[in-house]
Amino acid sequence: MRIQRAIIWLLFSLLGIGLLLHEIEATKPRRILLDTDVDTDDFFALLYLLKLNRSEIDIKAITINTNAWTDAGHAVNQVYDMLYMMDRDDIMVGVGGEGGISPNGTIYPNVGGYLPIIEQGMSTYGDCRYRQAIPIGLGGRLDIDTNYGLRRSFLPQGKRKYSPLRQPTTQQVMIDTISNGPTTVFVIGSHTNLAIFLMSNPRLKKNIEHIYVMGGGVRSKNPTGCCPKNANSCTPKQCGDRGNMFTGYTSNPYVEFNIFGDPFAAYQVIHSGIPVTLVPLDATNTIPITEQFFKSFERNQHTYEAQYIFQSLKLARDTWFDDQFYTSYFMWDSFTSGVAASIMRNSKVDGENEFAEMEYMNITVITSNEPYGVSDGSNPFFAGRSIPKFNLQKDGVHSGHVQQGLRDPFCFAKNNTKKCQDGYTKEVTGDPDGVRVLVATKAKPNQLSNSLLDREYFISFLDVLNLPRNAGRFNFTTEFPYYKEVLYKPDFGMRKLGKSVVFDMDMSAGDFISLIYLLKVPVEVINLKGILVSGTGWANPATIDIIYDILHMMGRDDIPVGRGDVFALGQPNPSFTAVGDCKYIKAIPHGGGGLLDSDTLYGFARDLPRSPRRHTAENSVKYGAPRDTDHPELRQPLALEVWQNISKSLAPGSKITILTNGPLTNLAQIIQSEKNLSSVVENVYVVGGHLSYSRKDLGNLFSVPSNEFAEFNMFLDPMAAKVVLESELNITLIPLSVQRQISSFPEILKRLQLKKKTPEAVFTYRLLSRLYRLQQKHRRYHHLDTFLGEILGAVILACDQHLNPTFKVKPVNVSATGDVSKDGQTIIDAVHGKLVKVIESVDNRKYFAEFANLLGEKKQTAVIGSFNQQKRIWSTPPANHT
Which segments of 498-655 does DSSP mark as H helices, in order? 509-520, 544-553, 595-599, 639-648
Alpha-carbon gap, residue 532 to 503, rounded angstroms: 6
- For the stretch 612-642, pLDDT in tens is 999 999 999 999 889 999 999 999 999 999 9
Cα 309 to Cα 316: distance, rounded to the nearest angstrom: 11
Amino acid (1-letter code) at residue 716: L
Q: Give domain status of residue 385, yes or no.
A: no
Closest to 604 in 3D by CA, of 391, 775, 780, 759: 759
1: buried, middle or exposed (CB in 10 Å: 19+, 13-18, 0-12)?
Answer: exposed
Please check the confidence at residue 264 and state whether its pLDDT lies above 60: yes
Q: Are residues 705 and 832 in the same domain?
A: yes
> For residue 193, is it within any domain?
yes
Residue 168 Rama label (left phi>0; alpha psi -120 to 50; beta)? beta
In CATH, what number is assigned to the domain containing residue 406? 3.90.245.10
**Secondary structure tally for the chain: helices H, strands E:** 29, 20
Contact 184, 277 (CB under 8 A): no
What is the reported pLDDT for 433?
85
Do both 436 and 340 map to the same domain?
yes
For residue 528, the SS3 value is strand
Helix (H) or strand (E) holding 710: none
- Cα–Cα dist 686/674, whole Å: 19
What confidence tens digit (pLDDT) does each residue in 520-569 have? Answer: 999 999 999 999 999 999 999 999 999 999 999 999 999 999 999 999 99
Indicate if 412 and 510 belong to the same structural domain. Answer: no
Q: What is the signed CA dihedral for 466, 469, 473, 478, rounded to 10 degrees?
A: 40
pLDDT tens, 198-233? 999 999 999 999 999 999 999 999 999 888 877 777
At residue 21, the pLDDT reads: 39
Please state, in angstroms and rounded to a whole number, the distance separating the CA atoms of residues 386 and 393: 12
pLDDT band at 417 (very low <50, low <70, confident <90, very high): low
Residues 447, 507: one domain? no
Report the distance separating Cα 97 and Cα 120, nearest Å. Answer: 12
Looking at residue 8, its pLDDT comes to 56
Cα dihedral across residues 66, 72, 76, 79: positive or negative: negative
* pLDDT at 17 > cutoff 70: no
Centroid of chain to Cα 533: 17
Give the separation between CA 212 and CA 276, rounded to whole angstroms: 6
| Region 652-665 average pLDDT | 96
- The last residue of one of the domains, among 417, 441, 474, is 474
> If we measure between CA atoms, which residue out of 39, 424, 428, 37 comes closest to residue 243?
424
DSSP H/E element including 276:
strand 276-279
On the 0-12 / 13-18 / 19+ scale of CB atoms within 10 A, 621 is exposed
Give the model confidence (pLDDT) of 462-505 as tens digits: 999 999 999 999 999 999 999 999 999 999 888 899 999 999 99
**Confidence at 799, pLDDT banded by 50, 70, 90:** confident
Residue 24 pLDDT more than 50?
Answer: no
pLDDT tens readout for residues 53-82: 999 999 999 999 999 999 999 999 999 999
Same domain as 804, residue 658: yes
In the chain, the percentage of residues whose pLDDT exceeds 90 is: 87
Do residues 851 and 517 lie in contact, with contact meaning Cβ atoms separated by under 8 Å?
A: yes
* Residue 354 in domain: yes
Say how many domains are in the chain.
2
Please check whether residue 480 lies inside any domain of the structure.
no
Claim to verify: residue 407 and residue 551 sit in the same structural domain: no
Domain of residue 93, residue span: 30-224+240-367+402-474
- Cis peptide leading into residue 572 (ω within 30°): no
The residues with which 440 forms a beta bridge, in sequence order, are 358
Average pLDDT, the chain: 94
Residue 415 pLDDT class (50, 70, 90 cuts): low
Half-sphere CA count of 827, side-chain side, radius 13 A: 15
Among candidate residues 531, 640, 631, the one with its CA nearest the CA of residue 149: 631
Residues 451, 504 share a domain = no
Using alpha carbons only, give the angle 288, 294, 296 rounded to the nearest 5 degrees. Answer: 125
Is-contact 422 405, C-beta < 8 A? no
- Range with the poorest average pLDDT among 25-34, 268-277, 371-380, 595-604: 25-34
Classify 445 as helix, strand or coil: strand
Q: Are residues 450 and 508 in the same domain?
A: no
DSSP for 132-189? GGS-SSTTTHHHHHHGGGHHHHHS---S----TTTSPPHHHHHHHHHHTS-EEEEE-S
pLDDT tens digits for range 91-137: 999 999 999 999 999 999 999 999 999 999 999 999 999 999 999 99
Nearby residues of 493 by Cβ (< 8 Å), 6 or more positions away: none
Length of the chain: 882
DSSP string, 849-866: HHHHHHHH-STT--SS--
Residues 447 and 517 in one domain: no
From CA 531, how far away is CA 562, in angstroms rounded? Answer: 6
b or e along 794-811 (b: 16 or more beta carbons within 10 Å of the residue's beta carbon)? bbbbbbeeebebebeebe
Q: Strand (E) positions, 321-399?
A: 356-365
Considering the entire predicted model, what is its pTM?
Answer: 0.95
* Residue 312 lies inside a defined structural domain of this protein: yes
**Domain assignment of residue 234, yes or no:** no
Q: Are 188 and 95 in contact (CB under 8 A)?
A: no
Nearest in space to 69 (alpha carbons), one of 247, 243, 325 = 247
Same domain, 470 and 550: no
Strands 806-814 and 731-734: what pairing? unpaired
Which ranges in 28-124 belong to alpha helices (H)? Answer: 40-51, 72-85
Give the residue ranges of DSSP H helices in 440-531: 456-465, 509-520
Identify whether 11 is part of a domain.
no
Same domain, yes or no: 101 and 147? yes
pLDDT at 19: 41
| Burial of 609 from C-beta contacts in 10 A (0-12 / 13-18 / 19+) | buried
Report the pLDDT value the prediction gives residue 22, as an integer from 0 to 100.
46
Same structural domain for residues 585 and 652?
yes
What value does the mean pLDDT take over residues 644-659?
A: 94
Kindly calculate the radius of gyration of the chain based on its CA atoms and give it in whole angstroms: 29
Residue 24 lies in a domain: no
> What is the rounded distance in angstroms from the CA atom of residue 317 to the CA atom of residue 326?
8
643 three-state secondary structure:
helix
CA distance 316 to 297: 14
- Between CA 33 and CA 206 the distance in angstroms is 15
